[in-house]
Structure 1
Amino acid sequence: MSGVDVVPQDARRELDRIRTRWAQLPLDRAEESLPAVRAVLDDLATRTAATTGATVPDLGPAVVPDQLAVLVWDACAADAGEGVGDLLAGLRRALP
């Protein structure tokens, strides 16, 4: 799959919007939003995990957009990306 973007256009657009919005958030607002983001990260992780209950390490708010991008790509590459665009749109709308 070298050079192929497996992420659907709607999900890619939402990732870009989340990245932009996240960069604009003051640290305290980003930290307040972490529970919603963690839920999405864990949802994405379970889509490709070999076991149930997969979790993503908490590396702090600075890397959230990167963690989202990696997990979305992994889910889509594993053919487990159904509804990812809607999931990301819901997260974006939940951000302050």
Structure 2
Amino acid sequence: MGSPTPQEVSDELRRVVERWHQLPLDHALSRMPPVRALVQSLADRAAGARGLTPQWVPDLGPAVVMDQLTVMVRDAWAAGVGADLAARLADLRRAL
């Protein structure tokens, strides 16, 4: 079964994850704030679209943040708030 997100979004997410795994730990730690901000923003948007109260996404560190991002990208798309996902992921990748 394929990804529930459009190919463009899936491709950009894959690029972000690949780039993240290439980063030295100190650099990854310094880039956590923008990654965490995107994860939280997507979680908040998805919750809002569903009429739910946004919840804080716990900071589980650099080893887990790409899993969190993947879940939030798919959740945002499923909630109908993913129109700008490819662009936001591309911006994040460039910031890494």
TM-score (structure 1 length as normaliser) = 0.88
5+ long unaligned stretches in structure 1: none
Q: Which residue of 1 aligns with 2:40?
A: 42
1:75 Cα deviation after fit: 0.8
C-alpha deviations, 1:20-71, integer Å up to 9, x for none?
111111110000000110110111011122124x321100000111111100
Q: Which residue of 2 aligns with 1:87?
A: 88
5+ long unaligned stretches in structure 2: none
> Identity over aligned residues, as a percent?
52
> 1:68 corresponds to which letter in structure 2?
L
Count the aligned residue pairs: 92
CA distance, structure 1, for counterparts of residue 76 and residue 2 of structure 2? 14
CA distance, structure 1, for counterparts of residue 94 and residue 79 of structure 2? 26
Aligned-residue RMSD, C-alpha: 1.3
Counterpart check, 1:15 vs 2:13: yes
Runs of 4+ in 1 over 4 A off after TM superposition: none
User: Is contact 1:17-1:92 (8 Å) kept?
Assistant: yes
1:4 Cα deviation after fit: 5.6
TM-score (structure 2 length as normaliser) = 0.88
Q: Which residue of 2 aligns with 1:74?
A: 75
